[in-house]
């Protein structure tokens, strides 16, 4: 199903361009006009066919597609093929009305980590803020009764319980952290799996009608959840509807429903074009590389199709073209998330970078002070602005010596300083959010993902 290497696009001898994969995590998407313009501009020419994978990580868009509302698909004149994968998509989204699905949901409140461990002694402390969940204080597996309650509000959890796969493939974890906005010492958040809908799109860019005949594939037939790494793929040909496809029409073929690891996948951002929406949401276009390591933990729901080639007729001539594998390491993403309105983040570096905590936690629109002592073996600390806001550091002292002043960190900026064990650091500053924040939205999973992505993109933090 997946190709972990970069694929060269196209076969010029038959005028076919495979194109780059475009990952539509449109959780507040660009207008379709903007997306369509982007897709067209990503091509270097106008081939007879344009073949691309589109991946939607937005659950409300998947609901729309399952209900045959194709306006959310950013291609020209989409024509949907309804196959086994489409049937699975309808099952997964049944009885849903198009609402946004958070990847985190709040649980209960507690006074401290110590109190939490008394209640749940099986919970694991996230030692040294390392591993997959650096933002959380503790991690545990939910009990069955908790999953049942969660399934009332989460369609993926409900489906995993219905298919009785929750013991083989955990549906969620529960993490805890301090909720400074609410003054809660410790709050639970359910960390969920994401849902990707993968679609093969084939656009007729010629000036004549074409007729598709057969899609050759390697397919794993299934009606439940399975590990993609263990899928038994077998050669299978699909006969496509022989209706003429007019110029500028696009055939959209569902090829898989993928379930991401709990907490999402690790990505390395190559480039980003931020665009912001009004209110409590933000959106941005990014070119990202997903981690191949996460593939081992991905699941599929229902039939999984790995397209290999497609045959078609054009002007009474038959043609066949190979289809490149879906490449998780080279994706464009449209991102949607809550405006969290958080503060800058602190990282220590010895042999590797480690997440520590948030800085200036009470400093939204207000100048406040913060301080910390450098522990043993730490050679450097970094202040990073990962969220949709700007941080202003008025002054920063190391061992009572003014080291920096009037620093401004916009989204994606960071600053690093060499230090020694035992050094004391004091700073004054504030942060301003770019838009209204959604103070009631679960943000632990989202921030954990931001921190993981930052660590993955900055394995060797150094002073600029």
Question: If you ran DSSP here, which 8-state letter would residue 282 be given?
Answer: E
- The more confident residue out of 278 and 58 is 58
Q: Which of 28-42, 286-300, 373-387 ranks highest by mean pLDDT?
A: 373-387
pLDDT of residue 43: 44
The stretch 292-318 carries a mean pLDDT of: 88
Q: Which residues contact 175 (CB under 8 A, 6 or more apart)?
A: 133, 135, 136, 137, 138, 139, 188, 189, 191, 444, 445, 448
Count Cβ neighbours within 10 Å for each residue of 110-140 and write b for 16 or more, e otherwise: beebeebbeebeebeebeebeebbbbbbbbb
pLDDT reading at 372 higher than 90: yes
Q: Which of these ranges, 25-39, 236-250, 255-269, 292-306, has the smallest mean pLDDT?
A: 25-39
pLDDT of residue 34: 56
pLDDT of residue 316: 86
Q: What's the pLDDT tens digit per position in 434-444? A: 655 545 566 78
Judge contact between 177 and 444, C-beta under 8 A: yes
pLDDT of residue 6: 25
pLDDT reading at 396 higher than 90: yes
The stretch 231-240 carries a mean pLDDT of: 92
Q: Which residues contact 255 (CB under 8 A, 6 or more apart)?
A: 53, 85, 198, 199, 200, 304, 305, 306, 307, 326
Average pLDDT, the chain: 80
DSSP structure string for 300-336 = EES-EEEEEEEEEEETTEEEEEE-PPB-TTSEEEEEE
Residue 241's SS3 state is: coil
Judge contact between 195 and 154, C-beta under 8 A: no
pLDDT of residue 16: 32
Question: If you ran DSSP here, which 8-state letter would residue 143 be given?
Answer: P
pLDDT reading at 15 higher than 50: no
Nearest to 328 by CA among 451, 196, 438: 196
Nearest to 263 by CA among 138, 450, 89: 450
Q: What's the pLDDT tens digit per position in 121-146? A: 999 999 877 788 999 999 999 999 99
Judge contact between 325 and 2, C-beta under 8 A: yes
| Cα dihedral 307/326/196/79 (nearest 10) | -50
pLDDT reading at 176 higher than 60: yes
Judge contact between 150 and 135, C-beta under 8 A: no
The stretch 142-171 carries a mean pLDDT of: 94
The stretch 57-76 carries a mean pLDDT of: 84
Q: Which of these ranges, 221-225, 281-285, 427-431, has the smallest mean pLDDT?
A: 281-285
The stretch 63-71 carries a mean pLDDT of: 89
Other C-beta atoms closer than 10 Å to the C-beta of 220 total 20
CA-to-CA separations, 318 to 73, 118, 214, 341, 431, in angstroms, rounded: 29, 70, 11, 57, 62
The backbone torsions φ and ψ at residue 135, rounded to the nearest 5 degrees and listed phi first, read: -80, -20
pLDDT reading at 375 higher than 60: yes
Cα angle 332-269-229, degrees, rounded to a multiple of 5: 70
pLDDT of residue 415: 94
Question: If you ran DSSP here, which 8-state letter would residue 76 be given?
Answer: S
Domain ranges of the chain: 12-97+195-337, 104-192, 342-457
Confidence of residue 459 (pLDDT cuts 50, 70, 90): low
pLDDT reading at 7 higher than 50: no
The stretch 404-417 carries a mean pLDDT of: 93
Q: Which of 64-78, 93-107, 392-406 ranks highest by mean pLDDT?
A: 392-406
Question: If you ran DSSP here, which 8-state letter would residue 369 be given?
Answer: E
């Amino acid at each position: 199903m997946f190709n972990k290497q970069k694929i060269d696009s196209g076969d010029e001898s038959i005028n076919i361009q495979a194109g780059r994969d475009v990952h539509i995590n449109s959780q507040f998407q660009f207008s379709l006009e903007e997306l369509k313009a982007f897709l067209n501009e990503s091509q270097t020419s106008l081939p007879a066919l344009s073949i691309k994978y589109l991946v939607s990580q937005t659950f409300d868009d998947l609901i729309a597609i399952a209900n045959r509302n194709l306006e959310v698909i950013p291609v020209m004149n989409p024509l949907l093929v309804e196959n086994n994968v489409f049937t699975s998509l309808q099952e997964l989204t049944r009885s849903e009305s198009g609402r946004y699905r958070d990847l985190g949901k709040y649980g209960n409140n507690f006074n401290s980590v110590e109190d939490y461990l008394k209640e749940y002694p099986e919970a694991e402390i996230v030692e040294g803020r390392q591993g997959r969940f650096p933002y959380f204080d503790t991690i545990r597996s939910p009990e069955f009764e908790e999953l049942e309650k969660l399934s009332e509000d989460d369609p993926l959890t409900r489906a995993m319980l219905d298919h009785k796969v929750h013991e083989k493939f955990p549906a969620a974890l529960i993490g805890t952290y301090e909720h400074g906005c609410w003054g809660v010492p410790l709050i639970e958040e359910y960390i969920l799996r994401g849902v990707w809908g993968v679609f093969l799109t084939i656009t007729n860019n010629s000036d004549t009608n074409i007729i598709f005949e057969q899609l050759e594939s390697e397919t794993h037939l299934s009606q439940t959840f399975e590990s993609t790494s263990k899928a038994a793929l077998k050669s299978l040909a699909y006969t496509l509807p022989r209706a003429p496809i007019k110029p500028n029409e696009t055939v959209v073929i569902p090829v898989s429903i993928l379930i991401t690891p709990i907490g999402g996948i690790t990505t390395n951002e190559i480039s980003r074009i931020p665009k912001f929406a009004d209110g409590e949401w933000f959106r941005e276009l990014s070119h990202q590389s997903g981690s191949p390591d996460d593939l081992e933990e991905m699941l599929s729901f229902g039939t999984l199709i790995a397209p290999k080639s497609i045959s078609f007729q054009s002007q009474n001539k038959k043609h066949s073209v190979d289809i490149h594998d879906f490449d998780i390491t080279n994706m464009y993403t449209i991102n949607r998330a809550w405006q969290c309105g958080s503060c800058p983040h602190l990282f220590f570096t010895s042999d590797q970078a480690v997440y520590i905590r948030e800085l200036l936690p009470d400093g939204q629109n207000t100048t406040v002070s913060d301080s910390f002592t450098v522990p043993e073996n730490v050679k450097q600390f970094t202040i990073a602005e990962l969220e949709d806001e700007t941080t202003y550091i008025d002054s920063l002292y190391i061992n009572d010596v003014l080291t920096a002043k009037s620093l401004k960190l916009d989204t994606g900026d960071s600053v690093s300083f060499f230090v020694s064990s035992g050094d004391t650091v004091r700073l004054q500053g504030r942060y301003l959010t770019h838009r209204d924040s959604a103070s009631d939205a679960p943000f632990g999973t989202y921030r954990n993902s931001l921190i993981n992505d930052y660590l993955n993109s900055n394995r060797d933090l150094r002073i600029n």
